[in-house]
Amino acid sequence: MLFTTDQQTTEDLNIFGKHGGDSIFTMFNHTSTRGGAAIMESMFHSPLSNHSLINKRSRIIQYFSATDSFPFDAVLFDIADQYLANTDERTKLSFEAGSFVKRLSNLVAEDPAYKFVYTGVTAMIEILSSLRSFTEKLALTQEASVKEDLDVITAYLRSSPFDSLPTGNRNGKLAYTELQEVDVLFRFRHRDIIKKLLQYIYHIDVYISVGKTAAHRGFTFPKALQKELHLLNLQGVYHPRLAAPVPNDFNLTPSGNVIFLTGANMAGKSTFMKSVGIAVYLAHMGFPVPADMMEFSVLDGIYTTINLPDNLGSGTSHFYAEVLRVKKVAKELALGKNLFVMFDELFRGTNVKDAYEATIAITTGFAEKKHSMFVISTHIIEAGETLSKRCENIRFSYLPTKMNGLSPEYTYTLKSGITADRHGMLIINNEGIIELLKKGKTQAK
């Protein structure tokens, strides 16, 4: 089964970014080759939902994080890709082309078809010889997950005809007949194998790039646990795009699988939710996460609702957009999926009484799904009080505010309990709006 998510979630967590800005994808994407970038992107698009696959990829990345640079000449891959993309039979070098007359005319003006094949073939041969020495070095590894893929590649390289590719004359120049023969091998007869070998190299590129990012940023590799444990244990999780993030500890179990989060407007609720969401998302890709330690049971998907856009233009109100979003999640849950679900400021688009009732009804319903995990933030603390009596598996956390005179200060450190902190009026008062209006009034009189 695939790990499911949707556009709202990836936008909330800024996985891909709208304009290629500070997204999570660009944070990791330092690949040297275009093929590597494509693989990286497909990994981001389809996280895994199988703990052994996750752990395998994670171990491979850890292994390669020791490698400091991509051990191939990246320029060669652009040539090779272009060369391999041309599968037109007519571009094969013809036999009579080897004739004396042709060769003579080639001396006068170079034949573009010949040149195309020549540069392509030499690039491929160079790539393959680099790959050979790379695999020979790697053969010493004890890491089982690395060895698994390596063995396949080594087998290809040792099989005919890859074990005895021509190396050219003393100047490294291939004879015309050799060239003709190898071209057919690469582009037509053993095309599949060549593609596999290149894909392997592109994967290596991705692993090295991710490993470097992990080492550079001090990320840790999470441990994927079996689905049936329904655990999430995060220590020191933080938002990777902040300059001075405050790390938090956070865990969820079947006996406490719902976090009811309260806190003032700027206390960092959204940021906290985003950092947890990013960690869960990356962990399911087998990637390193911005945390000190992470253990997690593999889930079937993640759905967040942090910046739900108003579609006032299209006529649906914010509240209705929220309801539809909740419905979507409810449907997924009803399919028996184990999900990670986050709602920021649930039902802020309606009146106080409705928001209270709806929050209680929906949260109680969610709490029944003990195998999924929920983080729900709200300002309706009364709902929290009612819920604490009704459900045992809801845990209450808040992000505190300290008042320093008139200006609020935030610790960004999660505490357990419910807070009634609100600063909406404070912000309005700090801006002096009401005074402004009153003063204008008295002056007018």
Partner 1 sequence: MSFITDKQTLDDLNILGKYKPGSMFNLFNTGQTAGGERLLEDMFRFPLSDADLINRRSRIFQFFRSHALTFPFDQDQLTQMESYLQDSGEHTLLETGLRVIRKLVSAWLLKDEPYAVMQAGLLATTAVLQTCQVLLDKLNIQDRQHPYFDQVAAVGDILNDSRLAWIKTEKEAIPLSFLHVIRYDHLLRKILKNELNIILSFIYHFDVCLAVNQVAIANELSFGVALPASRNRMEAANLRHPTIKKAVGNVLSLSENTNLIFLTGANMAGKSTLMKAFGITMYLAHMGFPVAAESLEFSVKDGIYTSINVPDNLNMGYSHFYAEVLRVKKIAEKVSQGENMIIIFDELFKGTNVKDAYEATLAVTEAFASYRCCFFMISTHIIEVAEALKTICHNIRFAYLPTVMSGNVPTYTYRLEQGVTSDRQGMMIIENEKILEILYSDQGLHPNT
Judged by CB under 8 A, does residue 30 bind partner 1? no
Name the residue nearer to partner 1 (CB basis): 97 or 242: 242
Run of H or E residues at 389 = helix 381-390
* Cα(35)–Cα(13) distance, integer angstroms: 25
Of the residues 78, 151, 354, 392, which one makes contact with partner 1 according to CB under 8 A: 354
Only segment of 33-41, 121-129, 237-245, 373-381 that touches partner 1 (CB under 8 A): 373-381
Judged by CB under 8 A, does residue 368 bind partner 1? yes
Only segment of 25-33, 76-84, 99-107, 341-349 that touches partner 1 (CB under 8 A): 341-349
Taking the mean position of all CA atoms in its chain, how far away is CA 322? 25
Q: What is the nearest approach in angstroms of partner 1 to the Cβ of residue 421?
A: 11
Indicate the residue type of 171: N
Measured between alpha carbons, how far is residue 106 from residues 90, 112, 172 in Å?
19, 10, 19
Judged by CB under 8 A, does residue 111 bind partner 1? no
Judged by CB under 8 A, does residue 424 bind partner 1? yes
Only segment of 37-45, 70-78, 98-106, 371-379 that touches partner 1 (CB under 8 A): 371-379
Interface map 221-260 toward partner 1 (x if CB under 8 A)? -------x--------------------------------
Judged by CB under 8 A, does residue 352 bind partner 1? yes
Is residue 343 helix, strand or coil?
strand
Helices (H) and strands (E) in the chain, counts: 16, 12
Q: 393, exposed or middle or buried, with CB in 10 Å at 0-12, 13-18, 19+?
A: middle
Report the DSSP pairing between strands 339-343 and 373-377: parallel
Judged by CB under 8 A, does residue 336 bind partner 1? yes
Torsion of CA 249, 232, 293, 286, to 10 degrees: -140
Judged by CB under 8 A, does residue 406 bind partner 1? no
The contacts of residue 166 (CB under 8 Å, 6+ apart) are 125, 174, 175, 178, 181, 182
Contact call for residues 43 and 285 (beta carbons, < 8 A): yes
Only segment of 109-117, 133-141, 197-205, 433-441 that touches partner 1 (CB under 8 A): 433-441
Phi/psi at 369 (nearest 5 deg)? Answer: -85, 80
Q: What is the nearest approach in angstroms of partner 1 to the Cβ of residue 325?
A: 10
Q: What is the nearest approach in angstroms of partner 1 to the Cβ of residue 218?
A: 25
Judged by CB under 8 A, does residue 436 bind partner 1? yes
Taking the mean position of all CA atoms in its chain, how far away is CA 68? 22
Only segment of 78-86, 108-116, 165-173, 369-377 that touches partner 1 (CB under 8 A): 369-377
Judged by CB under 8 A, does residue 334 bind partner 1? yes
Judged by CB under 8 A, does residue 2 bind partner 1? no
* Cα(142)–Cα(321) distance, integer angstroms: 53
Name the residue nearer to partner 1 (CB basis): 212 or 337: 337
Phi/psi at 233 (nearest 5 deg)? Answer: -130, 115
Judged by CB under 8 A, does residue 51 bind partner 1? no
Only segment of 40-48, 282-290, 386-394, 418-426 that touches partner 1 (CB under 8 A): 418-426
Contact call for residues 30 and 298 (beta carbons, < 8 A): no
Run of H or E residues at 375 = strand 373-377
Judged by CB under 8 A, does residue 353 bind partner 1? yes
Measured between alpha carbons, how far is residue 289 from residues 75, 83, 325, 351, 433 in Å?
31, 38, 27, 39, 43
Judged by CB under 8 A, does residue 438 bind partner 1? yes
Q: How many residues bind partner 1 (CB under 8 A)?
A: 65
* Cα(242)–Cα(18) distance, integer angstroms: 18
Of the residues 85, 105, 320, 411, which one makes contact with partner 1 according to CB under 8 A: 320
| Residue matched to tokens 């593609």 | 195
Judged by CB under 8 A, does residue 383 bind partner 1? no
Only segment of 145-153, 188-196, 377-385, 392-400 that touches partner 1 (CB under 8 A): 377-385
Would you tell me which residues interact with partner 1 (CB under 8 A)?
Answer: 228, 265-266, 307, 310, 312-313, 315-320, 323-324, 326-327, 330-331, 333-336, 338, 345, 347-355, 357-358, 361-362, 365-366, 368-371, 378-380, 422-425, 427-428, 431-434, 436-441, 443-444
